[in-house]
Amino acid sequence: MPLKTNFDEQPSMNLTPMIDIVFLLIIFFMVGTRFVEMERNIAVQVPAVRDVQTLSPPPERRVINVYRDGQISLDRQPVTLDQLTSKLTIGRQQYAELGVIVRGDAEGTFQNVASVLNACRQAGIAEMGISVRMASHR
């Protein structure tokens, strides 16, 4: 009994779409290069600077502590409410988006924290945060 042998066709890959994309990319980069050259030829004298430095990073949020007895400190320096308002106003003039974090004592009255928040609002501070800690589950 004779055996029939089947020869499978070898798979072929169609390269036409890949060649089309390569040509399109070549055309795209050639046209893009022309635009860059045309922009350099525009008769505009750009300004020059002598001292090139990076922009200063924005200041970190200022920390306001409100103690149990009503004492207030701004960045670990004791202040009154009026001093707090004036220092934050000055700080906001230097950096318009100045932010603060208010840390109030858990055993203190909320009125002290509310007074500090009001002083921040009077100074024009828009970004205010209140620091809290996670309570443990009992």
Residues 13-34 pLDDT 10s: 888 999 999 999 999 988 877 7
Q: Which domain holds residue 85?
A: 62-130
User: Does some domain include residue 116?
Assistant: yes
Q: What is the CATH number of the domain that holds 121?
A: 3.30.420.270
Residue 121 has pLDDT above 90, yes or no: yes
User: Does some domain include residue 28?
Assistant: no
User: Does some domain include residue 30?
Assistant: no
Structure confidence at residue 102 (pLDDT) = 92
User: Does some domain include residue 9?
Assistant: no
Q: Are 110 and 73 a contacting pair, CB within 8 Å? A: no
pTM exceeding 0.75:
no
Q: For the chain, how many structural domains are there in total?
A: 1
What residues contact 88, with CB distance under 8 A and at least 6 apart? 62, 74, 98, 100, 119, 120, 123, 124, 125
